[in-house]
Amino acid sequence: NGTGINNTALLLYTSSMESEDGFQMNNYHQSDEWSGAEWLTTATSAAVIFVGTKGEGDCWYGNENGPCLECDHRGWWSSTFVGRIIFYNPADLQAVAQGSAQPYEPQPYTSMDIDSYFYNVTSTQQKSHTAAIAFDRDNSLLYILEYLADSDKPLVHVWRISD
């Protein structure tokens, strides 16, 4: 109890609310919600992925109708939201761990929109497209939960990962 473990931050961006110094994730919105991460591996390649709901277009604080301070559903909003997977190169994270790069330097090298696989995306203003994520390395299966797709229960989507 109360014991700490030494650690190294591999990804650590400056909040765009605190600074505009360029130490942010490319194309970041305050409304982004990254709900899970996994380290995917195959026989010949690897990637670190994050899954979540990405805000696109304009970004504001208020509700789905626009900027406001005294309104229902107040929070960070964007013009549209999409379910997305973003991919990082593990070598970029290794460079941070070895001290040859800063934790704000790694950037996603590609992304994959996944809303076309989902059943409960009913609006461009819908938040929380995804929930948890898991990777079964032995069977090369990636599981992504679609948030509350079956009434009050998530729906599990499965992808086979290959080279």
Compute the 3-state secondary structure of the chain and give helix, strand, coil in percent, each to the nearest 5: 5, 45, 50
pLDDT of residue 19: 58
pTM of the model as a whole: 0.90
Mean pLDDT of 109-126: 92
Distance CA 45, CA 121 (A): 32
CB–CB of 53/83 below 8 Å?
Answer: yes
| Token digits of residue 81 | 């939201």
Q: Which of the four pLDDT bands, split at 50, 70 and 90, describes residue 18?
A: low
Q: Which residue has the tokens 């789905």?
A: 64
pLDDT of residue 152: 84
- Would you list the DSSP string of 16-82? TTT--SS-S-TT--TT-EEEEEEEEE-SS-EEEEEEEEEEEEEEEEEETTEE-SSSTT-EEEEEEEE
| Token digits of residue 152 | 């009050």
pLDDT of residue 148: 81
Burial class (CB in 10 A: 0-12, 13-18, 19+), 67: exposed
